Amino acid sequence: MATQFQALVLEEGERGVYGSVQKLDADSLPEGDVTVAVSHSTLNYKDGLILNGLGRLVKNYPHIPGIDFSGTVETSKNSDYVVGDQVILTGWRVGESHWGGFAQKARVDANWLVPMPESLSPKRAMAIGTAGFTAMLALMALEDHGVKPEKGPVLVTGANGGVGSIAIAILKANGYEVHAVTGRMNLSDRLKAMGAGKIIDRSEMMIEPKRPLQSEYWQGCIDAVGGEILANVLTQIRHGGCVAACGLAGGAGLSTTVIPFLLRGINLLGVDSVMCPIGRRKEAWARLAKDIPSQSVSNITQIVGLEDLPDLADKILAGQIAGRVVVDLNR
Q: Which residues contact 4 (CB under 8 A, 6 or more apart)?
A: 23, 24, 25, 26
Sign (positive/negative) of CA torsion 259, 272, 313, 187?
negative
Average pLDDT, the chain: 95
pLDDT of residue 1: 66
* Mean pLDDT for the stretch of residues 144-159: 97
Distance of alpha carbon 127 from alpha carbon 323, whole angstroms: 9
4-116+300-328: CATH architecture: Alpha-Beta Complex (3.90)
pLDDT of residue 260: 97
Q: Judge contact between 221 and 244, C-beta under 8 A.
A: yes
Helix axes 122-144, 278-291, angle to 10 degrees: 110
Q: Judge contact between 103 and 73, C-beta under 8 A.
A: no
Encode pLDDT of 256-274 as tens digits.
999 999 999 999 999 999 9
Q: Judge contact between 256 and 280, C-beta under 8 A.
A: no
In the chain, what are the domain boundaries?
4-116+300-328, 131-270
Distance of alpha carbon 285 from alpha carbon 67, whole angstroms: 17
Please report which residue ranges of 217-324 form alpha helices under DSSP H.
227-234, 259-263, 278-291, 294-298, 309-317
Q: Report DSSP state, residue 260.
A: H
CATH fold, domain 131-270, is Rossmann fold (3.40.50)
Who wins on pLDDT, 291 or 22? 22
Among 67, 74, 73, 72, which Cα is nearest to 129's?
A: 67
Among 18, 21, 17, which Cα is nearest to 8's?
A: 21
Burial readout 250-276 (b: 16 or more C-beta within 10 A, e: otherwise): beeeeebeeebeeebebbbbebebeeb
DSSP element (H, E) containing 90: strand 86-90
Encode pLDDT of 198-244 as tens digits.
999 999 998 877 789 999 999 999 999 999 999 999 999 999 999 99
* Mean pLDDT for the stretch of residues 242-261: 93
Distance of alpha carbon 97 from alpha carbon 88, whole angstroms: 18
Encode pLDDT of 34-83 as tens digits.
999 999 999 999 999 999 999 999 999 999 999 999 999 999 999 999 99
Encode pLDDT of 170-206 as tens digits.
999 999 999 999 999 999 999 999 999 999 999 999 8
Encode pLDDT of 272-319 as tens digits.
999 999 999 999 999 999 988 777 788 889 999 999 999 999 999 998
The band of 323, judged by pLDDT with boundaries at 50, 70 and 90, is confident
